[in-house]
Structure 1
């Protein structure tokens, strides 16, 4: 196969390119800025269908691995901005891919859509613009692709690992905290987690099978206590992690929400409702059972800058 990888030099995209090569497939990379390993420089966020078709011509499939910052506060209303960033580029990409006769695709999504299906009573799409747009991204991207171009959506939790100088966008603050002399504290609840390498392997398998499924990806389910403890150990600063009361988490999130509202801003995950997600055990079943120790060491084992 010949696969176009959008975001091909990012943390996940670079691993996808590597695994494609190991499986005997060819990869073409697209990114917003020129750097080693980029075949085509293009801002996918603003590219029109007619600009995308020449890039897609001659390919069998496409992987969308561009990154979105769900926590960055934006001026209200934020839904149009999130659609421009997350939904519209995917719709245009798969419209162009269908026109060029591609037969398979993968979108790197979020495990929040997994929990939206699992727990509709949580009303995640009503409460969080980011999750609403993730659902719209999958639905409208698949509609644009049509039945001849199945699109697998990988529902990703926390992703550990590195690719060159690329690290998870949230790793920097956690690394600084883990290495500091500040006490460590964790709320109740927890999250699923995986490695960038495993995500890439699942993506390439989905391409080879031309899967059109929603695919939750997880290696381990971790309480926040366990996750922070293992990050500190990987950073060489292992120490006790104290319990953070649920009431303190809710209060902090309420204050954050009020301050954002007073500034006329909002983030993709609404702070007042996000407290409930932080305190829940957002565990994915089944998990692969792979240990994340190596990916944790890659992410936090040495002092690294996040770009």
Structure 2
């Protein structure tokens, strides 16, 4: 296969490229900024369908592996911005792919869409603009692709790992917190987690099999306590992690939501309802059963203080 990897210089995209080439496939990389190994520089978010057609021409499939900062507050209303950044580029890309006769595609998504299906009573898409746009991106991207271009959506949790100097966008604050003298305290609940390498292997499997369904991905399910304790151990600061009372978590985040509303800003994940997610066990079954320890060490240990 010859596969175009959009976001090929990012953490997950770089691993996808590695796995493709290890299995004997050809990979073409696309990114917005120049880096070693990037074949094409283009902002897919602003590219037209015709520009994207020339980019995907001659490929068998495409992987969309760009990332979004769902927590950054923006001026209200944020839905048009999130839709422009999250939905429209995927619709245009798969429209171009259909017109050029591509036969397979993968989109890196969020495990929030998995829980939106699994727990409709949580009303995740209604409460969180980011999740709404993830749902729309999967639905409308597939509609644009048509029946001859199956698109697998990988529903991803926290992803650990490293690709050169590329790390998870959330790892910096946790790294600094784990190394600091600030007490470690977390709420009840937890999250699924996966390594970037595992995600890449699932993505390439989906391409090889031309799968077109939603694929939740997890190596392990971790309580927040376990996750933070393992990060602290990885940076060489092993210590006890305390439990935050649920009431304090809810009050703090509701206050944050109120202050954000007063400033006429919103974020993709609404802080007024974020406590419900933090206190839940956002676990995926089944898991791969692979240990996250190697990816944890890649993410945190290399910069450990001597």
Aligned residues: 304
**TM-score of the pair, normalised by structure 1:** 0.98
Paired with 1:194 and 1:55, the residues of 2 have a C-alpha distance of 30
Q: Hey, what's the Cα distance between the residues in 1 that align with 2:243 and 2:125?
A: 30
Q: Which residue of 2 aligns with 1:241?
A: 241
CA distance in 2: counterparts of 1:214 and 1:244, whole angstroms = 34
- Root-mean-square deviation over aligned CA pairs: 0.7
Task: Report the counterpart of residue 109 of structure 1 in structure 2.
Answer: 109
Encode CA deviations 1:113-152: one digit per residue, 9 max, x unaligned: 0000001011111100000000000000000000000000
Alignment correspondent of 1:30 = 30
Instruction: Work out the CA distance in 2 between the residues paired with 1:265 and 1:185.
Output: 28
Q: Deviation digits for residues 179-234 of structure 1, max 9, x if unmatched?
A: 01111011000000000000000000000000001000000000000000000000
Residue 216 (structure 2) aligns with = 216
Q: Which residue of 2 aligns with 1:197?
A: 197
Q: What are structure 2's unaligned runs of at least 5 residues?
A: none
Taking the aligned partners of 1:280 and 1:109, their CA distance within structure 2 comes to: 20
Distance in 1 (CA, whole Å) between partners of 2:195 and 2:302 is 17
Give the Cα separation in 2 of the matches to 1:180 and 1:122.
Answer: 35
Give the distance between the partners of 2:81 and 2:251, measured in 1 at CA. 28
Partner of 2:148: 148
Partner of 2:10: 10
Deviation at 1:302, TM superposition (A): 2.4
SS in 2 for 1:188: coil
CA distance in 2, matches of 1:196, 1:68: 16
TM normalised by structure 2 equals: 0.99
Matched, 1:263 2:263: yes
State the match for 1:181 in structure 2.
Answer: 181
Q: How does 1:63-142 map to 2 (within 5 A)?
A: 63-142=63-142
Q: Deviations over 1:29-52 (max 9, x none)?
A: 000011101000000110000111
